[in-house]
Amino acid sequence: MECTLEREKAAQHAEAAADELARALAFVGNSFLAPMSQTSDAALDRAFWAAFPDFGSEEAACALDGLFAWAAEGENVPRAERVRAVSVEYARLFIGPPEPAVAPWESFYVQEGVTNGFGEPTFRMRERLRQAALEVSNENNQYADHVGIELLYCSELARRAASGGPAGTEEAALLESFVEADLLPWLGRFTTALYEEGATYYGLLADLAEGLLGVVRAFSPSASTCAA
């Protein structure tokens, strides 16, 4: 009985953590899909980052420290001006003109000869979304292998994993596989490119994304067992 109760408590804790991780990934994913002028400006408040979970990850905690310091540095600047500055950075990095300074698509980093972000990874990501019964609907008509969409895909898998049971375990395994084999291998190059282009907020946000995905890698969908 004692072992059963411990397993139930551990499962409940894991499900709650997965749900919280889903929300964290969703925030980061949405932040990469649109400028701050079109989304939440909560990131301008250091209290937001102080409350943001690090899931016990040193990498995530380090990124959050950087984001907290970044938010604190701008406290004396009018909010509208800060939103405008972050939105201008977004446009310079991911829109252009004449083209994005940093490509936000997986295809650009993993396939030779891709210059516009549309390649084989785009088709693979479309198929993953189809299999998950998810549909991309955004005003910017981004390719399916956009970093923001891939992070939102991770968020949805984490949310489903939080439901527990066999289905949740299957989704957790799918999430880990995608992160390990597909997203993390190119996200580091994306982050490096951001800093090379002088990114501030979005470089720190990419650091946070890597930290959160590290949390996913450490998550095991296997049920715990009692010691003999």
Domains of the chain by start residue, with CATH: 41-218 (1.10.3480)
Cβ proximity of 21 and 158 under 8 Å: yes
Per-residue pLDDT of the chain (228 residues; tens, 9 = 90+): 555 545 555 455 567 788 899 999 999 999 999 999 999 999 999 999 999 999 999 999 999 999 999 999 999 999 999 999 999 999 999 998 888 999 999 999 987 776 666 788 999 999 999 999 998 776 667 899 999 999 999 999 999 988 877 778 888 889 999 999 999 999 999 999 999 999 999 999 999 999 999 998 766 554 333 333
41, amino acid identity: D
Q: Within the chain, how many helices (H) and strands (E) appear?
A: 10, 0
Cβ proximity of 17 and 24 under 8 Å: no
Residue 117: per-residue pLDDT: 65
Residue 172 to residues 50, 94, 106, 163, 218, Cα–Cα distance (Å): 27, 30, 22, 10, 11
Cβ proximity of 55 and 210 under 8 Å: no
* pTM listed for this prediction: 0.88
Rounded to 5°, angle at Cα 55 from 37 and 133: 65
Residue 192: per-residue pLDDT: 98
Residue 10: per-residue pLDDT: 47
**Which residue has tokens 């209290």?**
47
Residue 224: per-residue pLDDT: 39
Residue 2: per-residue pLDDT: 59
